[in-house]
Amino acid sequence: MRIPILKLYDYLLITIQIDLDDQTALQFQEDLLEKIHETGAKGVVIDLTSVDIIDSFIAKVLGEVVKMSNLMGARVVLTGIQPAVAVTLIDLGIYLNNVPTALDLEQGLEKLKQELEE
Amino acid sequence: MRIPILKLYDYLLITIQIDLDDQTALQFQEDLLEKIHETGAKGVVIDLTSVDIIDSFIAKVLGEVVKMSNLMGARVVLTGIQPAVAVTLIDLGIYLNNVPTALDLEQGLEKLKQELEE
């Protein structure tokens, strides 16, 4: 299945509301890059509020999609990382360095606006 | 599977990017009403840009969810109805009376803002 990607003005909004399996995560990576290309979006918010579990593969895919999007000229903010997910990421030694994060979708959008204005 | 519902400020945004089967449509109806209750959202935009096919059952469920949301105090705008879907709806004799519509997500949000300000 595919993760829906919403275009809103210059931004793409994604809420991941299922536990990602490997295939879905890779499909999402491909879809998001395609959508950035198609829409010329300047910013992306990926909301993980509903994600309770994350493994090293998914974390790697997410980390990569952020870097790939940046290469294409779109800033990415990850929002709503749950306590258990934060614990897992650090336990796995995955720090998502240089990836901006925020508490929720609204604050993620604010952060993007600030970054794009700088 | 479930249709993701995004909360953005006072609004809920939904893009339906799969062809709805009966079970998914009913689950969506339940989830949306629950989310309106939970968040106190004042407006809802349901974007149908990616929906190519619609049948009478799905159209009925959509029409109902609009009325139910209105009862709960949230305005609903349907956006991105495709030509083929518009043709099908009229062919089926389903007019979605009194349901505000708009071309895309952005215009749907503008419409909601206007309606809520009135």
- Give the pLDDT confidence of B15-61 residue by residue, as tens digits: 887 778 999 999 999 999 999 999 999 999 999 988 888 888 998 89
Residue B26 lies in a domain: yes
Pair A27, B17: CB distance under 8 Å: no
Distance (Å) from the C-alpha of residue B57 to the closest C-alpha of chain A?
A: 23
CB neighbourhood size of B77 (10 A): 23
Separation of alpha carbons A71 and B89, rounded Å: 43
Distance (Å) from the C-alpha of residue B112 to the closest C-alpha of chain A?
A: 15
Residue B33 lies in a domain: yes
Q: What is the pLDDT of residue A70?
A: 93
Q: What residues of chain B lie within 8 A of the CB of A28, using their CB? A: none
Residue A1 lies in a domain: no
Measure CB to CB from residue A106 to each of B8, B47, B105 and give the nearest one.
B8
Q: Which of A70-79, B49-58, B92-101 has the lowest mean pLDDT?
A: B92-101
**CATH number of the domain residue A79 falls in:** 3.30.750.24
- Give the pLDDT confidence of A40-73 residue by residue, as tens digits: 999 999 999 888 888 889 988 988 999 999 999 9
Residues near A64 by beta carbon (within 8 Å), at least 6 away in sequence = A29
Token digits of residue A52: 């309770």
Predicted structure pTM score: 0.83
Count how many pairs of residues, chain A against chain B, have C-beta atoms within 8 Å. 43
Range of the domain at A10: 6-117
Which of B10, B16, B17, B45 is most worth mutating to test chain A (most A CB atoms within 10 A of its CB)?
A: B17
Residue B1 lies in a domain: no
Number of domains in chain A: 1
Q: Helix (H, G, I), strand (E, B), or coil: what is residue A94? A: coil
Judged by a CB distance cut-off of 8 A, whether residue B109 touches chain A is: yes
